[in-house]
Chains A and B, each alone.
Chain A
Amino acid sequence: MSTTTWIDALATDALPTDDVIGIEVDGRDIALYTVGDAVYATDNLCTHGHARLCDGFLEGHEIECPLHQGKFDVRDGKPTCEPATEPLRHYPVKIEGSRVFVRLD
C-alpha cells in the first residue's frame, strides 16, 4: 500500500513566473521552480558547494548555482554542467485548486 503524503506547501499565487523560490516544507529546505505552467521541486542546497539554488538563475529547465555556476535540470535533478556532478534530490509536485503540494517521501 502506498502511504504517499502530499504536503501543502504554498499558495499558487505565491509562485514566481519562470523563476525559483526557496521554501520550507516539513522542516526541509526546498527550491520550487516554475517553467511555463509546470512546477518542479528539488532540494535547495547545491550538491557541490554550500549555496542555495533559490539564489541562483533559472534558464529554461536549468538552474545555475550562484556560487560556482554548476547547473542542474530541475525536472530530474541531474547535473548538466560542472562543477556539479552529484544529482539533486527532486520531488513530485501537484497543484490542486489554489494550493501547491509536494511529496517528500
Chain B
Amino acid sequence: MSETSTVFPSTPQWEGDGTHRIPFLTYTSDALYQRELERFFYKGHWCYVGLEAEVPNAGDFKRTVVGERSVIMVRDASGAINVVENVCAHRGMRFCRERHGNRKDFVCPYHQWSYTLKGDLQGVPFRRGVKQDGQVHGGMPADFKTSEHGLTKLQVATRGGVVFASFDPEVESFESYLGPAILGYFDRLFNGRTLKILGYNRQRIPGNWKLMQENIKDPYHPGLLHTWFVTYGLWRADNKSQLRMDSRFRHAAMISTRGTAGQAGQVTQVSSFKADMQLNDPSFLDIVPEPWWGGPTAVMTTIFPSVILQQQVNSVSTRHIQPSGHGSFDFVWTHFGFEDDDEEMTQRRLRQANLFGPAGFVSADDGEVIEFSQQAFESKPFHRTLAELGGHAVEDTEHMVTETLIRGMYRYWRDVMEA
C-alpha cells in the first residue's frame, strides 16, 4: 500500500475482503470504538464478570464492568447470582464504590433510593410526601410505580463457577455462544470443582483493547518476546500444538503440550536469550501434571470480547479486559485454584502465577509492546499491520507458526462491524 495523502482517514481502508492487513484506524478511531462497545460489549455477546467463588455468601457483591458500563455481580438470599447496572434509576448516579462487600440491599447515597439484591426498587424516601399539620405534601405522583424503576438487570449465565452477563435480552445461550470446540476447552478448566480465589493483579495498559485479544491469539510472539519462556523450557518450537476456533472465528484456544525430548538448547528453535541463566529458587518451576489437563500443558483461551482464560502448567487465572476509550484498557487478573488443592498445590499455583507477573516479565512485556504499537497507530492511522504468517486464510492448525487466529478475529470483526 502506498502512503496516501490522507494521514487521518475517516473509515478504515481494508484490502479487499481479507483480514491479513489490519488498518491502524481500527485501533485509533473513537467512532469505531463506540460501535465496538455497542455491537460487541452491549449487544449479542456474553461478557465475563467474575467467578462465583468471589461472592460465596448471600449479600456478597463484586463491582466490575461490562464494556465501559459499571455493573455489580451479587448473590441474593436465594443463592442466585444477579448482575445489575451500577446506575441509580433516579438521577443516574453510579452509587456503588466498593470493589467487594456484603449488603442486604443497595442504597444510593444521593437520595437513599434503595434496591433489593435482585435490582428491584424497594424504597423511595418521601415517596408518599411529608405530613405536616394533618396534611400530606409533595411526594411522587400517584402513577409512580416502583416496579417500573428498578436497576437495569443483565442476563446472567453461570457455568463451572464462572459468571458471564449480557445487556441483551435476546442474547443466544452461553453454550451456543462459545460453540462446541471452545466449550470443550472451557469445561476442561471449569469442570465443576468449586474454585478458590488466590488473588488479583491489575494493569492499566495504554493501548486498544483488541491488542490484548490479539496477543493471546498470537503464538508467534511468546518465544521471541518472552525469552524467559525459552530459557526455562516453557516454550519450545517442538511443542505439540493446536489452534482451534469457534465457527465464527471470534473465540480461540491455543493448545500446547510441552516437548519432553532434550534440553531447550538441543532443539532447533529461536535462540534463547541468556541460555545459561539459572533460577535461584528452582521450586518456581516445580510443575506437577494434573489429571484434568488430559494431555496439554498449556491452553490459552480467548473468549471474545472480554476475557482470557489461562492455564499455563499449574497456574490458572482469568484475565478480564476492561476497555476505557479507544486507547486504554484495564487488565484484571484473577488467580484461582480448586477446593480440593492441598496447601502444597496452592503454594505451587501462587508461585507459578509469577511466570506471568513481574518476575517472569511476561505481562510487563506484553503491556509495553501494546503501548508502543498504539503509539505508532496514533501517529499514522492510514497505515496497517501485517498478519500474514501462515498465509491469508482463517483455519484451525496443528502448529503455532501462524497468525490465523488474528485473521479469524478480524473476519468476525468485519462481519459484525460492517453489517
Contact = CB atoms under 8 A, between A and B. Distances in A.
A58 to B, nearest CB: 11
A34 B128 CA distance: 20
Interface string B99-125: 000001101000010101000001111
B121 to A, nearest CB: 10
A95 B126 CA distance: 33
A60 to B, nearest CB: 16
B105 A82 contact: yes
B130 interface: yes
A66 B114 contact: no
A67 B104 contact: no
Contact of A69 (B104, B107, B127): B127
Nearest to A84: B123
B323 to A, nearest CB: 35
Interface of B, helix, strand, loop or mixed by DSSP:
loop
B97 interface: no
A20 to B, nearest CB: 9
A49 B114 CA distance: 11
B125 A55 contact: no
B131 interface: yes
Interface in B316-333: none
Given A70-B123, A83-B105, A57 B112 contact: no
Nearest to A82: B122
Contact of B122 (A51, A57, A66, A69): A69
Contact of B126 (A67, A82, A83, A85): A67
A70 B124 CA distance: 10
Counting chain B CB atoms within 10 Å of each CB, the highest count among A49, A55, A64, A66 belongs to: A66
A88 B313 CA distance: 57
A40 B122 CA distance: 26
Interface residues of A, number: 14
Contact of A57 (B105, B107, B128): B128
Nearest to B128: A57
Interface of A, helix, strand, loop or mixed by DSSP:
loop
A12 to B, nearest CB: 18
Given A55-B131, A82-B105, A83-B104, A68 B122 contact: yes
Contact of B125 (A57, A68, A85): A68
Give the interface size class of chain B.
Answer: 10 to 19
A68 B125 CA distance: 5
Contacts of B131: 55
Interface string A35-69: 00000000000000101000101000000111111
Contacts of A64: 128
B108 to A, nearest CB: 11
A85 B130 CA distance: 24
Given A55-B130, A82-B105, A85-B104, A69 B124 contact: yes
Counting chain B CB atoms within 10 Å of each CB, the highest count among A49, A67, A68, A70 belongs to: A68
Contacts of B128: 57, 64, 66
A57 B139 CA distance: 13
Contacts of B123: 65, 67-70, 83
A82 B105 CA distance: 9
Contacts of B116: 82-83
Contact of A66 (B104, B105, B126, B146): B126
A67 B127 CA distance: 8
B218 to A, nearest CB: 50
A67 B122 contact: no
Nearest to A85: B104
Contacts of A83: 104-105, 114, 116, 122-123
Top 9 A-B residue pairs of the complex, sorted by shortest distance between their CB atoms: A68-B123, A69-B123, A67-B125, A68-B114, A83-B105, A57-B128, A83-B122, A83-B114, A55-B131
Interface of B: 104-105, 107, 112, 114, 116, 122-128, 130-131, 146
15 contacts: A49-B112, A55-B131, A66-B126, A67-B112, A67-B125, A68-B112, A68-B123, A68-B125, A69-B123, A70-B123, A82-B116, A82-B122, A83-B104, A83-B105, A83-B116
Given A68-B107, A68-B124, A68-B125, 19 more contacts: A49-B112, A51-B125, A66-B127, A66-B128, A66-B130, A67-B112, A67-B125, A67-B126, A68-B112, A68-B123, A69-B123, A69-B124, A69-B127, A70-B123, A82-B116, A83-B105, A83-B114, A83-B116, A85-B104
Interface of A: 49, 51, 55, 57, 64-70, 82-83, 85
